Amino acid sequence: MNEGKPLSHGRWPALVAAFLGWMFVGFEMGLFPIVARPALQSILGPDEGLVGRWNGWIVALFLLGAAAGGVAFGWLGDRVGRVRALALSVVTYSVFTGAKYFATDAWHLGALRFAASLGMGGEWSLGVALVMECWPERLRPMLAGVIGAAANVGFLLVALIGALWPATRESWRWMFLVGAAPALLAGYVAAFVPESARWKAAVGRAASRPLREVFARGLRRTTLLAIVFASIPLIGTWAAVSGWLPLWANQLGGKEAPAAAAMTQVVVSVGAIIGCFFAPIIGGKIGRRPAYFGLCLLSLVFCGYQFRCLHAYDAQFLVLSGIVGCVTAAFYGWLPLYLPELFPTRVRATGQGLSFNFGRILAAAGALQMGQLVGLFGGSYARAGATITLIYALGLVLIWFAPETKGKPLPE
């Protein structure tokens, strides 16, 4: 592909829009784990088992909504363009995040988080497709790292806010109002981000039927493998790490450490930013498959140690949380590098949106199982987390059935 004007036109506005859009998604994703326990306790009472079960249901609703949104907005991006669909996805998650301020029952939080997650699921596939289609191919690993790190910058921002002003049963509502601010980004996207030249050329050559094509004979195996490779880290992080480590820290810290959840999220986020940035760069050097294998192995080892060997909220807990955040979130830098390389331009947003977000359905099942396991293990987040994170062992084997795309151009 020529790297002249058609490719480079609008590359910086596209990168800014994708980075900020995914950063604000990370802010909202990180917001709920910090406020979940005090919010649910203020609504439901102090029953830890009931709070854990409702948190599991709400995490599952988020993941299901993100899966549906990833498919719907990905399809829309392949049909009407990346930019218009991206602006709509940002408006969706911003408005419904802010509306959680008015929740008075646990199911209100679940319904609004589901609605917000529709837009969040769509933002990832659209932003990644837009950036990868207008920047030079040699920069894909670095760009994947930047986009992958963006959500964790959002995680870090909300964690710092939570550390400075810990969420309590009386103060949790105002934090959701901050999550409505990204609606302003939609105006920037609509006004300043040009449409992908690759997409316009692709749909000009042939009509796009994205959902039919990604499951057609030529792409079916690729799509199914991509779903698996996204599902494994999604299950690991949402069913045990991102969605539950802050709650576990809150439980271990008790009243003596009211900012335990936020501080845990701070170190997890810092580790995740580092992991997301460097994982695709390493994948660009040694290959996509060896990088994924290494991440699965490291995640299996460090998650096992944290959940099985630590029993107190202390400095060691925070250090291990940072390492776990680094290795488990690094997949989210690897995925925006690898998934666009599997699908042709006319169905790229749908293919990677479906693959990444269908994994959230399986992660939702994992989150529900985590909630059940917490109850089964007498409120022990550690024993439940140690069980769920065995999922990384599956990735050690299945990655070798995937194609290696290192050094190859994006398929047209």
Query: The domain that contains 30 carries what CATH number?
Result: 1.20.1250.20
Q: Report if residue 175 sits inside a domain.
A: yes
Is the pLDDT at 136 greater than 60? The verdict is yes
Q: 50: burial class by Cβ within 10 Å (0-12, 13-18, 19+)?
A: middle
Would you say residue 410 lies in a domain? Answer: no
| Mean pLDDT (whole number) for 189-213 | 82
Residue 7: which pLDDT band, with cuts at 50, 70 and 90?
Answer: very low
Q: What integer best gives the mean pLDDT of the chain?
A: 86
Q: How many domains does the chain have?
A: 1
Q: What is the pLDDT of residues 249-282, one digit of tens each?
A: 877 887 777 778 778 878 888 898 899 999 999 9
Q: Tell if the pTM clears 0.85, that is, is over it.
A: no
**Residue-wise pLDDT tens digits, 34-50:** 788 788 888 888 777 78
d(CA 302, CA 300): 6
In a domain, 143, yes or no: yes
Measured over the CA atoms of residue 322, residue 309, residue 363 and residue 371, the dihedral's sign is negative
Query: How does pLDDT run across 316-362, given as a tens digit for each residue?
Result: 999 999 999 999 999 999 999 999 999 998 889 888 888 887 777 77
pLDDT over 90 for what percent of the chain?
A: 38
Let me know if residue 409 belongs to a domain: no
Domain for residue 265, yes or no?
yes
Domain span at residue 278 reads 5-401
Residue 255, number of CB atoms within 10 A of its CB: 5
Task: Name the residue among 235, 213, 279, 195 with its Cα closest to residue 391.
Answer: 235
